[in-house]
């Protein structure tokens, strides 16, 4: 369930630009009154959120998105800024009430293309001068444009558009055009937070410098997503340097196959001939027959001996995504997961020699997934992002597979791209919100901060600190926890303390910055936070990562308990009589499970969108590959280790107040899970509360809902953890 956060930011920004979401007033950067130098939920929502960025061809300037929120209007707004690549001359380019997003330099860096609304309320591609003037509408697509990418010669452009998928009731029975019913005959009828009635398709269109015309569907009407939902974006498509070929990512499956398989491939589309080639499957490949109620781990679909499943010695059965041609056109790189059905498999960095078809894996020595990456200008090096031991940094690797770490420190770098002879990167930490930085590829010059989006808040709020704490697990392994301390911390005092349980389930507890699960917010309310990198997280090797699959209630739960026990024993300021436990998604599962196994350690629990009943979850979720891999297949095929550890089986041992939170548009972990947990607690006479959002998905994205989430969260903790004596 770990997905790209930056892709979500772009998707959210585009959605915010739809006509129905327009705010009444311009929402921009603000400096609200700050009382007592304290971080509050309202201040958190007042901060700007930096999104995607682009670099001018000469590397001397950048253009980027920032999103702002209005709690009063309950809406967001995204604007475009530019500045010099040394951090000077920041300029707001867009001042419309509607959002304008996805800025890209065109015309040799003399203009900026972006997405904005037309008179019909549809997103179209526009261009403007570098100072924001002289705006011109370039596209006029009836269905609007969701994203775009110009070819290197700027004679063509890729358009991502939304098209209709499947039949509506009115298509089957035209006389029932007002019926709200849906007739469903296959799986994946809904995904993430929507009923699947439309999908993205990618088109290639002509551009003469003034207008975009003659768009052609590169999938030729095929019923598949490109980019892939729910989080894929324009990073899943790439132009060759000669502008003759488009590489795109696609999982050409439907229904049950789509719901149960992660087998996405990289395709090369010849713009002139319209011919398409799959570079991830050998000739004569035929998808093997599999039993989707059994785990795919040992089935033939992942067998290296299966004809056509291996290319140049590499098994390419899982997610193959995010292609990028080398600047000299000799290679294509992409991220590749080896095994079908395992969405948290190690992301390998592969390159193919386009003249020979030979594939090479780079950065093999790291034993951790490779994330965002970029080619060097001379095509001899790739810069990439990877997580190790709770921090995410920039690395380089040459074609001889020599890896070098470029950045260090207690930070997370989230993206990397060339900026002249340097690298433009996004960076944040538990203590700092996201900004853009300039990095020396040789690692010899200091890192330069370019944007200071939330400097007002940094200057006028007292911030907590974050420290690493290593401890031993029950089986003698090393376990890293982040310890977040309150502002104006006094080591001689005793503090209420929260055990944070990570989601994913295989997402790192790194130096991430969140606008809801924000550790600084928790610390500002007077809590210490213990955030362990328990079993099942990347950044500690493949073996550590995979110990969670089919073993949800196993050593990963032991890790949580040993981490909080070690904190109590080794940190004198942790109050053992005021402990709370909180988490979302798999963290919510963890909370429900620990509620039945904590031996009275905790005074209160909070579970957000967590799995309560594993058997229920197996048949309720939408992405069946996840359930099959992590649970080991269907419960009726005999997988007692997984399903016997379902939290609902231990409700008889629940004895502690619990808050259950759920979004009703969450189709990944549906509302019945939290409702069942709350009802069970109520029936057992356990103090409990149910916070439900009819219009939110797996996350809480609307400003007023976010404020309500924070207020309910801390009211519960203050009542049962911070001041437990008042309830006796």
Helix, strand counts (H, E) of the chain: 14, 40
Q: Measured between alpha carbons, how far is 700 from 705 in angstroms, rounded to an integer?
A: 7
Give the three-class secondary structure for 687: coil
Among residues 607, 712, 624, which one has the least CA distance to residue 667?
Answer: 624
Q: Measured between alpha carbons, how far is 250 from 193 in angstroms, rounded to an integer?
A: 21
Q: Which residues are catalytic?
A: 585, 666, 698
| 625 contacts 534 by C-beta, under 8 angstroms | no
Neighbours of 108 (CB within 10 A): 10
Cis peptide upstream of residue 713 (ω within 30 degrees of 0): no
Give the three-class secondary structure for 683: helix
Structure tokens at 474: 């029950």
Q: Hey, which bits of 520-620 come out as E strands? A: 528-532, 574-584, 604-608
H helices of 40-108, in order, are 41-46
Q: For 586, list phi and psi in degrees, rounded to 5.
A: -60, -30
Among residues 162, 157, 115, 161, which one has the least CA distance to residue 135?
Answer: 115
Angle between helices 586-595 and 555-570 (to 10 degrees): 70
Neighbours of 79 (CB within 10 A): 24
Give the number of C-alpha atoms closer than 13 A to the C-alpha of residue 358, restricted to the C-beta side. 6
Q: Measured between alpha carbons, how far is 44 from 521 in angstroms, rounded to an integer?
A: 8
Give the three-class secondary structure for 237: strand
| 467 contacts 410 by C-beta, under 8 angstroms | no
Structure tokens at 123: 């997103």
Strands 331-336 vs 91-92: parallel, antiparallel or unpaired = unpaired
């Amino acid at each position: 369930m770990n997905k790209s956060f930056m892709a979500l930011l772009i998707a959210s920004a585009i959605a915010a630009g739809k006509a129905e979401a327009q705010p009444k007033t311009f929402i921009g950067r603000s400096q609200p009154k700050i009382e007592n130098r304290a971080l509050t939920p309202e201040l958190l929502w007042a901060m700007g959120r930096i999104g995607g960025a682009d670099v001018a061809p000469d590397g001397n300037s950048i253009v980027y998105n920032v999103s702002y929120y209005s709690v009063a209007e309950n809406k967001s707004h995204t604007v475009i800024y530019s500045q010099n690549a040394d951090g000077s001359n920041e300029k707001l380019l867009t001042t419309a009430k509607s959002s304008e997003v996805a800025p890209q330099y065109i015309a040799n860096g003399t203009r900026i293309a972006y997405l904005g609304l037309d008179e019909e309320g549809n997103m179209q591609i526009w261009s403007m001068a570098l100072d924001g003037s002289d705006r011109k509408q370039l596209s006029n697509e009836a269905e609007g444009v969701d994203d775009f990418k110009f070819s290197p010669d700027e004679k063509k452009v890729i358009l991502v558009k939304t098209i209709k998928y499947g039949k509506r009731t009115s298509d089957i029975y035209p006389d029932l055009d007002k019926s709200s019913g849906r007739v469903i005959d296959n799986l994946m009828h809904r995904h993430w937070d929507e009923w699947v009635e439309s999908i993205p398709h990618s088109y290639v269109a002509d551009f003469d410098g003034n207008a975009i015309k003659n768009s052609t569907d590169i999938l030729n009407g095929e019923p598949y997503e490109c980019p892939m939902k729910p989080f894929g974006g324009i990073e899943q498509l790439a132009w060759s340097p000669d502008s003759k070929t488009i590489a795109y990512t696609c999982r050409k499956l439907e229904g049950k196959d789509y719901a149960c398989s992660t087998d996405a491939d990289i395709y090369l589309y010849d713009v002139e001939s319209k011919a398409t080639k799959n570079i991830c499957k050998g000739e004569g490949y035929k998808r093997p027959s599999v039993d989707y109620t059994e785990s795919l781990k040992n089935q033939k679909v992942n067998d290296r001996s299966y004809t056509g499943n291996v290319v140049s010695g590499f098994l390419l059965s899982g997610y193959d995504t995010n292609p990028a041609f080398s600047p000299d056109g000799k290679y294509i790189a992409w991220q590749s997961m080896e095994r079908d059905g395992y969405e948290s498999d190690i992301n390998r960095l592969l390159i193919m020699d386009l003249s020979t078809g030979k594939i090479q894996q780079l950065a093999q020595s790291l034993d951790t997934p490779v994330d965002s990456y970029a080619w060097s200008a001379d095509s001899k090096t790739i810069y990439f992002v990877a997580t190790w031991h709770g921090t995410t940094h920039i690395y380089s690797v040459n074609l001889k597979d020599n890896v070098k770490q470029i950045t260090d420190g207690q930070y997370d770098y989230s993206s990397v791209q060339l900026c002249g002879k340097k690298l433009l990167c996004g960076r944040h930490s538990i203590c700092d919100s996201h900004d853009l930085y300039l990095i020396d590829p040789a690692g010899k010059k200091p890192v330069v901060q370019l944007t200071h989006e939330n400097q007002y808040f940094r200057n006028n709020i007292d911030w907590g600190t974050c420290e690493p704490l290593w401890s031993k697990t029950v089986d003698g392994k090393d376990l890293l926890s982040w310890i977040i301390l309150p502002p104006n911390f006094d080591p001689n005092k005793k503090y209420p303390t929260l055990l944070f349980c990570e989601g994913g389930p295989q997402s790192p507890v790194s130096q991430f910055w969140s606008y809801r699960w924000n550790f600084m917010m928790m610390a500002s309310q007077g809590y210490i936070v213990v955030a362990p990198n328990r079993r099942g997280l990347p950044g500690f090797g493949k073996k550590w990562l995979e110990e969670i699959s089919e073993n949800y209630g196993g050593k990963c739960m032991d890790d949580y308990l040993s981490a909080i026990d070690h904190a109590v024993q080794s940190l004198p300021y942790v109050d053992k009589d005021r402990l709370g436990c909180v988490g979302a998604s798999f963290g919510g599962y963890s909370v429900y499970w620990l509620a039945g196994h904590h031996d009275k350690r905790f005074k209160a629990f909070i579970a957000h969108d967590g799995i309560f009943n594993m058997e229920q979850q197996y048949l309720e979720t939408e992405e069946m590959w996840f359930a099959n891999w992590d649970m080991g297949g269907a419960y009726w095929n005999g997988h007692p280790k997984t399903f016997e550890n379902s939290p609902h089986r231990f409700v008889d041992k629940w004895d502690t107040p619990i808050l259950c939170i759920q979004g009703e548009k969450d189709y990944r972990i549906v509302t019945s899970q939290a409702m069942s947990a709350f009802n069970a607690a109520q029936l057992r006479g356990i103090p409990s509360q149910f916070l439900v959002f009819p219009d939110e998905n797996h996350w809480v994205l609307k400003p007023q809902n976010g404020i309500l989430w924070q207020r309910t969260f801390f009211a519960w903790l203050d009542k049962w953890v911070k001041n437990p004596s008042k309830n006796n």
